[in-house]
Amino acid sequence: MNKYLILVNKTHACPKNDFTLVPVVSDYKENVYLEKNTAQAFTKLQAFVKKQGYQIEAESGYRSKEYQEKVFKEVEQEKGLAHTLMYVARPGYSEHQTGLAVDFCLKDENDYHVDFEMESHPVLDIVADNAYKFGFIIRYPKGKEDITGYGYEPWHLRYVGDVAALITSQNLTLEEYLERL
C-alpha cells in the first residue's frame, strides 16, 4: 500500500510515522518543513504556478502536536469554537503532524495573501486543476464538508503520490478513496 495514504482526520489520530522532514524554502515563513517527497513535489508545483504568472509559498507545513495546540487555541480565541472546529484540527488529529500537508499562500508583489484572502483568486483554480500532476489533492474540497468534517480549504494540499490523479479525476476525498480500497 502507498505509504502516503495515511488517514488523519477528526476521528483518526495521527499515527507515529518515520517520514524524513526537510526544510522548504519559503519567502513567507522560516522553518517550514515537509516530508522529503512532499517538499520536492511542492517545489515543482511552485515552479509550475510561477510559469502561469503567480507565486505561491509554503505558509504552513509540518506542525508538532504542541504547535497545533497553540494554533487551535489562537484561532478559538480569535474566531470562536464553531469556526475553529470547522477549520482547525485538534492536536493529535492534524494532517500537518505527518509532514504530508502544506498550506500555501499567494505572494502578490510585496504582499502575501493567506487562507480566505485568496478567495476567488485565479491561482486557486490553477492549483486545483494541476495539483494532482505533482501528487497533491485538495484535501478539503467544496461540497464535501460532510465527509471530511472540515470547511472548504483550497489552499490545504495533501501529498498522496501517484493516486492523486485518480482521486482528483473521480472527485473523491481521501476518505472516499480509502473506503473504496
**CB atoms closer than 10 angstroms to residue 77:** 10
**Residues 6 or more apart from 46 whose CB is under 8 A from it?**
55, 56, 57
What the block records as the C-alpha cell of 102 is 502544506
How do the pLDDT tens digits run along the chain, 181 residues long?
A: 688 999 999 999 999 878 999 999 999 999 999 999 999 999 999 999 999 999 999 999 999 999 999 999 999 999 999 999 999 999 999 999 999 999 999 998 889 999 989 988 999 999 999 999 999 999 999 999 999 999 999 999 999 999 999 999 999 999 999 999 8
What is the CATH code of the structural domain delimited by 21-175? 3.30.1380.10
Task: Clarify whether 153 is annotated catalytic.
Answer: yes
Lookup: cell for 4: 502516503
Domain boundaries of the chain, sorted by first residue: 21-175
Indicate the pTM of the whole model.
0.95
The residue from 30, 66, 153, 175 that is catalytic is 153
Tally of helices (H runs) and strands (E runs) in the chain: 7, 7
Q: What is the 3 state secondary structure string of 96-137?
A: HHHCCEEEEEEEECCEEECHHHHCCCHHHHHHHHHHHHHCEE
* Predicted pLDDT at 165: 98
